[in-house]
Amino acid sequence: MSRTLRLAMAGGGEGAFIGAVHRAAAALDGDWRLVAGAFSSDPDRNRRSGETLGIEPARTYPSLDALLAAEAALPANERVDAVAIVTPNHLHAPMAIGALDAGFHVFCEKPMALNMEEARLIAQAASRSDRYFGLAFTYSGYPLVEEARVRVARGDFGRIRLVQVEYAQGWLSKAIDREGNKQAEWRTDPLRAGLGGCLGDIGTHAFHLAEHVSGLQVQELCADLSTFVPGRLLDDDVSVLLRLDGGARGVLKATQVAAGEENGLKLRIHGEHGGLEWAQMEPNTLKLRWLDRPAEEIRAGGPGLAETTMRLLRTPAGHPEGYIEAFANLYRAFASQILSGGGAASHAAFPTVDAGLRTMAFVENVVANNASTVKWTKLSDE
């Protein structure tokens, strides 16, 4: 890196889980330094957050609008380079569009927006501003997810037939969204979360991972959304049958009411000659199974890994790397893209505005199919 980039944060103040994750990931490789923020709409919480994070009082702003105006007025060698948006979903579009139009790059939490209309407006803002827009689909940053993608792309398994992805959580098995849990509260509120509950929160992760690793796009789907907790306004369980490019078939299962489950994201892909399995809770192992020879286990840092996989690793084999490191890989790639002007980013560097549009189209089409009497519908982003 030729210099450390300056980062501002919208949201993520005192008591917010994901803001701390973004800050740790951005700082890990020394590519970013947090210098400004509008951390909370509550003035006291905002002030305390800035103090705790060591931000100059003058750069702890009361709102993102105030931040953008003040930072844009600073000399180029002092103003922030990018804004990380770590707010509930309903603020993503206005904040991202405002930051892009003000001339700042944006790294945003997923899903991209409340709906496809907002997602398109973000894409238009990114295009006219000539700024970069990245999305926090964290799991694409894991080294062995990249290894899986490479092996599928080079044809190790032959033509892909089956894509199965599962994301099982249990934390919303009870009505904690009506008992003061702030993380649950906004995720189950249509005004703040958007069209999908579990669908938007973790179903988009599963969908992005499936398409990212398989290299195939979903063409048609058949969906079933359920809400198990009485009184909840959005889905807490998702089942989707998938028809992908080339005749491949898939299944996507996402749930937040699988009592006892923690963060069970799993991906299996099978082709003519064999297949792979990767699980987020054991992220340093990639399992390969073959039709005509013994199964294999590929380990992070071990022999035989692709060059693009090795670039995502920081420690020797046997030293586990996990969620923060995967997140940091996205921030490192985002920084590289900004500093290089586009020349250094690899195919799998970080999820862009295209991933945001694709996942928002998935959410809208799943919701529409679930409400329809038609069994199969095309996944359209029109």
Per-residue b or e along 245-262, where b marks 16 or more CB atoms closer than 10 Å to that residue's CB:
eeebebebbbbbbbeebe
Region of residue 16 (left: phi > 0; alpha: psi -120 to 50; beta: else): beta
CB 13 within 8 A of CB 46: yes
253: β partners: 166, 239
142-313+352-371 CATH fold: Dihydrodipicolinate Reductase; domain 2 (3.30.360)
330-340: pLDDT as tens digits: 999 999 999 98
Three-state SS for 254?
A: strand
CATH of domain 5-138: 3.40.50.720
| Domain definitions of the chain by residue range | 5-138, 142-313+352-371
Q: What is the pLDDT of residues 113-159, one digit of tens each?
A: 999 999 999 999 999 999 999 999 999 999 999 999 999 999 999 99
Q: What is the CA radius of gyration of the chain?
A: 21
**DSSP H or E stretch at residue 264:** strand 264-271
Place 341 in a pLDDT band, splitting at 50, 70 and 90: confident
Element (H, E) at 374: none
What's the predicted TM-score (pTM) here?
Answer: 0.96
